[in-house]
């Protein structure tokens, strides 16, 4: 499982749902609960790590947030109602934790949004080798730091992961229309920034 964009074919989706059903059945039995949970972690840890890391940039915060995401999942998994896919649900938990974390960091340092961008840029520089600082992927990431966290998230999900708007709507709790508008605005802002470099 490397990205949500790979899930589109219906047979893949059916297989995913079947896997989820088996996992939930295994999780419901106390004797096999931990084994089922380890399976879940193995399956989703890499895409979740990438998603969180792109938002918070450094490994330590990513590790904390990923563990918290998985703990919350463990505590609520027996009440999971399968209205959405398991990965969508995990993605939503991780996203909410990331947004809360970023907001808390900003407030803890008494920073405005623009000053927080400066802090995040410094974070980005420290996480990037010097010879990579002018590479297109790093420049794009720098441009993304100028967006408010939620808009950045929308851009990343759509541009990098190609998450369908319907699924983004489930994850972010926002209408598809609003998400399309948000993505369009984000795209224009990033494009302008890159043009003026």
Partner 1 sequence: MRTPLPTLDSPQGKIPSRSDYSAPDGYFEKLPQRMTARIEEDLASNHTEFSSYVGRWAVAASVLLVVGLAWLGTPRGGSSLVQGDPLLAQLTTDEIVQGLDLHGTHALWLQEAAAYPWTEEPAWIHPQDEPPLDSFLWDHSLVTVTDEGLIEL
22 binds partner 1 (CB under 8 A): no
Give residue 65's region: left, alpha or beta (phi > 0; psi -120 to 50). alpha
80 binds partner 1 (CB under 8 A): no
Instruction: Identify the DSSP state of 113.
Output: H
Distance in angstroms between the alpha carbons of the first and the last residue of the chain: 35
Q: E strands along the chain, which residues?
A: none
- Among 25, 28, 71, 113, indicate the residue that binds partner 1 (CB under 8 A): 71
- Segment 81-140, which members bind partner 1 (CB under 8 A)? 127-129, 132, 134-140
Cα distances from 146 to residues 53, 96, 121, 122, 136, in angstroms, run: 17, 20, 9, 13, 16
- Among 13, 17, 21, 59, indicate the residue that binds partner 1 (CB under 8 A): 59
Give how far the C-alpha of residue 109 lies from the chain's centroid of Cα atoms, to the nearest Å.
24
53 binds partner 1 (CB under 8 A): yes
Q: Which is nearer to partner 1, 16 or 64 (CB)?
A: 64
Q: Is 127 helix (H, G, I), strand (E, B) or coil?
A: coil
Interatomic CA distance for residues 12 and 2, integer angstroms: 13
Q: Which is nearer to partner 1, 64 or 111 (CB)?
A: 64
- Contact criterion met (CB below 8 Å) for 7 and 164: no
Angle between helices 86-108 and 165-172 (to 10 degrees): 60
141 binds partner 1 (CB under 8 A): yes
CB of 54 to partner 1, least distance (A): 7
67 binds partner 1 (CB under 8 A): yes
1 binds partner 1 (CB under 8 A): no
CB of 112 to partner 1, least distance (A): 27
Q: Which is nearer to partner 1, 24 or 139 (CB)?
A: 139
- Among 64, 160, 164, 169, indicate the residue that binds partner 1 (CB under 8 A): 160
Interatomic CA distance for residues 196 and 190, integer angstroms: 10
Which residues here bind partner 1, judged by CB under 8 A? Answer: 34, 37-38, 41-42, 45-46, 49-50, 53-54, 59, 62-63, 66-67, 70-71, 74, 127-129, 132, 134-141, 156, 159-160, 187, 190-191, 194-195, 197
């Amino acid at each position: 499982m490397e990205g949500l964009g790979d899930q589109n074919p219906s047979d893949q989706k059916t297989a995913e749902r079947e896997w989820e059903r088996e996992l939930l059945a295994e999780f419901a039995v106390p004797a096999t609960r931990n084994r089922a949970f380890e399976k879940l972690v193995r399956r989703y840890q890499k895409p979740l790590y990438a998603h969180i890391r792109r938002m918070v940039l450094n490994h330590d915060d990513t590790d904390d947030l990923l563990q918290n995401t998985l703990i919350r999942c463990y505590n609520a998994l027996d009440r999971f109602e399968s209205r959405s896919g398991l990965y969508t649900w995990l993605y939503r938990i991780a996203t909410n934790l990331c947004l809360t974390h970023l907001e808390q960091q900003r407030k803890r340092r008494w920073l405005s949004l623009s000053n927080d961008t400066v802090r995040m840029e410094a974070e980005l520089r420290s996480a990037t080798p010097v010879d990579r600082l002018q590479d297109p992927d790093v420049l794009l990431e720098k441009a993304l730091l100028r967006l408010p966290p939620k808009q950045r998230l929308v851009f990343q999900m759509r541009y990098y992961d190609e998450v369908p708007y319907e699924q983004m709507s489930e994850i972010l709790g926002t209408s598809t229309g609003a998400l399309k508008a948000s993505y369009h605005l984000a795209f224009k802002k990033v494009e302008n920034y890159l043009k003026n470099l």
